[in-house]
Amino acid sequence: MLDPQARALIDLMIERRVPPVHTLTPAEARRLYRERRTFTQPEPPPLPVVRELTMPGPGGPLPLRLFRPPADKAVAGALPPLLVYFHGGGWTIGDIDTHDVLCRQLAVEAGCAVLSVDYRLAPEHPFPAAVDDCIAATRWARSQAAALGIDAQRIAVGGDSAGGNLAAVVALAERDAGAAIAAQLLIYPATDMRAVAPSHQANAQGYLLTADSIAYYRGNYTPEAAMWNDWRASPLLAKDRARLPPALVLTAGFDPLRDEGRQYADALSAAGNRVQYVCFERQVHGFITMGRIIDEAFSAVDLAGAVLRRSLRGG
């Protein structure tokens, strides 16, 4: 059964004739996403430090936002661990403002610093621009650990949807580069650009993220089908998934991406990695940022924070 709160949101969007994302230009889609977030997101929790930063990225200056947890919530250690976070939005929409509340919540619940990355968006900057930016941001954070006041030995990566895809890819890339990542948080991640998992058909219409919107986002980010088989676009297709950081994979039952998230969790487990997988069976894609109207969003944030906190303890 679909969560009645999620059903109420879907019905309201139909009643108000909110245009489907695939009917909009990227600029229009970004504007509407920014505007609508205030109707579904909870109030931002206060934090002692929120800093606007910029780093030299592969395509030019890359904006970042650093969040520090309250002292009474921080994980033990001389310096706090760091979660490098990549926002969702189909590699086309979203930014550090649309995910500001979620990053604040994770800083509080996980007791770690959070660095939100404003990576380049498609179609202006197609694959692999976002990948390059996210890898660069993670490496920059490690190199600037002293200036940022974080523990370089306890850096995790995370993201939702497209951001979950990017977090999985960064974990793979950092392993190959010999750099340790402490944990990965993958929230309803896109892991296979071919979109062949059964849930793509079962949940193709009627649950916010549709087959049409997936095709729109995929066309913006990976305009050539040959790109879909690149592990940097489809981490499920990576040949080697061993020696990866502990992972928490969260999915939603009424989400086209549900099964490929489960497939990635299973693949990580089969390769000998520590993995926790939880499906919020009654939820839709995107629910974790909708705490103003969907109660289970807080449950998901609490779970993500608790698992991250355990993974980042020590050192």
Can you give the pLDDT of all 315 residues of the chain as single tens digits? 999 999 999 999 999 999 999 999 999 999 999 999 999 999 999 999 999 999 999 999 999 999 999 999 999 888 999 999 999 999 999 999 999 999 999 999 999 999 999 999 999 999 999 999 999 999 999 999 999 999 999 999 999 999 999 999 999 999 999 999 999 999 999 999 999 999 999 999 999 999 999 999 999 999 999 999 999 999 999 999 999 999 999 999 999 999 999 999 999 999 999 999 999 999 999 999 999 999 999 999 999 999 999 999 854
How many domains does the chain contain in total? 1
Catalytic residue of the set 192, 213, 285, 311:
285
For the CA atoms of 257, 262, 263, 268, what is the dihedral angle to 10 degrees? 130
Among 161, 199, 213, 311, the one annotated catalytic: 161
In sequence order, the 6+-apart residues with CB closer than 8 A to the CB of 62 are 54, 55, 56, 117, 118, 119, 133, 136, 137
Instruction: Locate 289 and state its tokens.
Output: 């940022």
Bridge pairing between strands 60-68 and 113-117:
antiparallel
Range of the domain at 153: 4-312
Q: Which amino acid is at 315?
A: G
This model's pTM is above 0.95: yes
β-pairing, 82-86 vs 184-187, is unpaired
269 is catalytic: no
Decide if 285 is catalytic: yes
CATH of the domain at 36: 3.40.50.1820
Orientation of helix 162-176 relative to helix 129-143, angle to 10°: 60
Catalytic residue among 200, 255, 259, 311: 255
- Tell how far CA 251 is from the center of its chain: 12
CB 254 within 8 A of CB 283: yes
Q: Does the annotation count 125 as an active-site position?
A: no
Contacting residues for 313 by C-beta, under 8 A, at least 6 apart: 75, 76
Residues facing residue 66 across a β-bridge = 51, 115
